[in-house]
Amino acid sequence: DNPLLDQILDTDEENFATSVAGVTLEEWNIYKLLDDKLKSLEGKEKPFERIKPSARKAYQRRKKEMQEKEDFVFDGSSDIEKVK
């Protein structure tokens, strides 16, 4: 059952949190703090950037290829000494 409009608009925060939103007052205060923080970050650089899975896979492939190239060292000097 939805609350009446006056219960939503004309109420104190404690009553709104418990009766309308269905959360505790502590949860409501935490939500407000997080909401304020998100609003302050709008328009600024995001704290993290979402990376597409395909871009991540491509990065991992390049990194793996570089490791394989670095690990393999061809040393033909020992073969030349055997031929002599």
Structure tokens at 55: 């871009």
pLDDT at residue number 44 = 76
What is the spatial distance between Cα 84 and Cα 80, in angstroms, rounded to a whole number? 7
Establish if 59 belongs to a structural domain. no
Domain that holds residue 35: 1-42
Tell me, yes or no, if the pTM score tops 0.75. Answer: no
Number of domains in the chain: 1
Quick check: 13 and 28 in contact, CB under 8 A?
A: yes
Residue 1 lies inside a defined structural domain of this protein: yes
Rounded Cα distance, 23 and 4, in Å: 17
36, part of any domain: yes
Q: Which pLDDT value is given to residue 8?
A: 84
pLDDT tens string, the chain, 84 residues long: the values are 788 888 888 889 998 899 888 999 999 999 999 999 888 888 777 667 778 889 889 999 988 888 776 655 666 665 555 555
Interatomic CA distance for residues 10 and 77, integer angstroms: 87
In a domain, residue 62? The reply is no
